[in-house]
Amino acid sequence: MKKLMVLVLCISLTGLYSCASKSGKGAAIGAGAGAAVGAGVGALIGGKKGAIIGGAGGAVAGGMTGAAIGARMDKQEAELKQIEAAEVERVADNQINVKFDSGILFDTGSSNLKNDATTSLNNFAGVLKQYPENKLTIEGHTDSTGTMAINQRLSEQRALSVKNHLHFQGVDNTRMTTHGYADSKPVANNATAEGRAQNRRVEIIIVQEPVAEEAQQ
């Protein structure tokens, strides 16, 4: 029975590490999750003394995992900010959002990439290939001009065009998913030309998953 409980708690520890990394709280949450489950495992094995040792060990392991994720994302963020025309925002310890205005990537009403846009996307792909553990969600957005059907199709096609170009540049296709949102997620007022220009965009959401060597620590 004790062995079964230890196994259950160890599985819980793995799940908590995963949740910690995805929550964007980095080392702090990783350490807290590790300490809680480590203490439970230690108590089952060695009573009060085991709980203390297990909690300390779990905190160290969880903190190291969270800190490692944060450090890699720090490095990646700095590299992404060197790319021309890319707006980079660090949303969480394990998440970076990158935005390209559609006017930079596409002509009006088109989903074919402009020749001038390929340089920025090529550089973007070069950074992504250095972090193969990352998962990417590519979102297409439009302004409110035109019908919903046209905007939906255009937003989907533009997201797919970016994905296909990144794949052509060597980014693993299985890492990327695409969504088209038409004009359903505006970031500015569609009543003004400036607002509509801001709403016409492609956003790439980058989320880092723990790599194998981090999980082993």
Taking Cα atoms as reference points, which of 94, 21, 22 lies closest to residue 62?
21
116-153: per-residue pLDDT in tens? 999 999 999 999 999 999 999 999 999 999 999 999 99
For CATH 3.30.1330.60, list the domain ranges present in the chain.
81-213
User: What distance in Å separates the CA atoms of residue 57 and residue 164, rounded to the nearest whole number?
Assistant: 44
Pairing between β-strand 176-180 and β-strand 134-141 as defined by DSSP bridges: parallel
User: What distance in Å separates the CA atoms of residue 169 and residue 32, rounded to the nearest whole number?
Assistant: 40
- Look at residue 70 in the predicted model and tell me its pLDDT: 84
User: What distance in Å separates the CA atoms of residue 56 and residue 49, rounded to the nearest whole number?
Assistant: 11
- pTM recorded for the entire structure: 0.71
Mean pLDDT by 10 residues, the chain (217 residues): 48 46 49 53 59 55 67 96 96 96 93 94 98 98 96 98 98 98 97 95 93 48
134: which strand partners?
208
- Look at residue 51 in the predicted model and tell me its pLDDT: 56
> Do the beta carbons of residue 1 and residue 70 sit within 8 Å?
no
- Look at residue 199 in the predicted model and tell me its pLDDT: 95
- Look at residue 67 in the predicted model and tell me its pLDDT: 77
Asked: is 81-213 a CATH 3.30.1330.60 domain? The reply is: yes
